[in-house]
Amino acid sequence: MQIRPHERKNMVTAGIFVSILLIVTAVSIFLLGKERSVFENKITLYTEVDNAQNLKSGAFVQFKGIKIGTVEKVEVASLTSIRISLSINANMQKWIHSDSYIMFKTEGVLGDKFLEILGGTEDSPIVKEGEILKVRQSPNIANFITKGEDIIVTASRVLVKIDKLLSRVDGDKIAITLDNINRSSLETKNILSSLNPKEIKATLKSVKMTSQSLSSISKQVQEGPGSLHSLIYDRAVHDDLQSLLGGANRSKVLKYFIRESIKKSEETK
């Protein structure tokens, strides 16, 4: 079958178009693979946080400013935990150690979130497939805003409680109480101002001398000699008094004094 000239032209045009399309597709796949490291070996690492901070799957992962992987998955692990799966280039595994940590970063001020792996010491072992890295929270505007909101909420609660407390108290009673306090303060001031400083000084001196005298008497009684010292500290005197005033002896002593008092009363008659 003979192909007509115009059909031949259409076929050549279609062939060129398809060739160009294939070349563009191949270049796109190559560039995309180079950008996302599609053809490189990967390892999977994990981290767990309580808030994903709007991190999306596909966000890139850096190691000290170098892109080494992407966020593969962000999923809820429990009521208090979010698990993030990281797809990391295997050739960068040797630089990540078990004591390395992850921080949330932002492109620009309000840009997309990404993760950066930092830290790590040579003494610590290299991470293994499936290992979980810890997260350190980096200070950002969102954190400050959250803290500010918490402070505002707390302050509002305190103000509400104060308002309720004051609303229960009668305003007239508060005024009377303040007036009484003011009067008491003035009376105290007048009393203090009416006192003679010399009299106060003399009184304090007298109190001091009395205290010294009592201290001296107490010392003399404690050290002895003397009847009071013997009465307090001498065991023999204590026993004699006890035997004299106790039991049968006490009855004899009382009888003696009674008889003597009767005899004297009869003599006086």
pLDDT digits (tens, 9 = 90+) for 80-134: 899 999 999 999 999 999 999 999 988 876 678 999 999 889 899 999 999 999 9
pLDDT digits (tens, 9 = 90+) for 162-182: 777 766 656 666 677 778 888
Asked whether the beta carbons of 97 and 45 are under 8 A apart, the reply is no
Out of 124-128, 207-211, 238-242, least confident range: 238-242
51-57: average pLDDT: 89
Among the listed residues 57, 41, 135, 53, the one whose alpha carbon sits nearest the alpha carbon of residue 94? 41
The DSSP annotation for the chain comes to: -PPPHHHHHHHHHHHHHHHHHHHHHHHHHHHHHHHHTTTS-EEEEEEEES--TT--TT-EEEETTEEEEEEEEEEEEETTEEEEEEEEEGGGGGG-BTTEEEEEEESTTT--EEEEEEE--TTSPBP-TTPEEEEEPPP-HHHHHHHHHHHHHHHHHHHHHHHHHHHHS-HHHHHHHHHHHHHHHHHHHHHHHHS-HHHHHHHHHHHHHHHHHHHHHHHHHHH--SHHHHHHH-HHHHHHHHHHHSHHHHHHHHHHHHHHHHHHHHHH-
More confident residue, 182 or 35: 182
pLDDT computed for residue 142 by the predictor: 57
Kindly tell me if the per-residue pLDDT of 228 is higher than 90.
no
pLDDT computed for residue 201 by the predictor: 76
Kindly tell me if the per-residue pLDDT of 258 is higher than 90.
no
Query: pTM value?
Result: 0.42
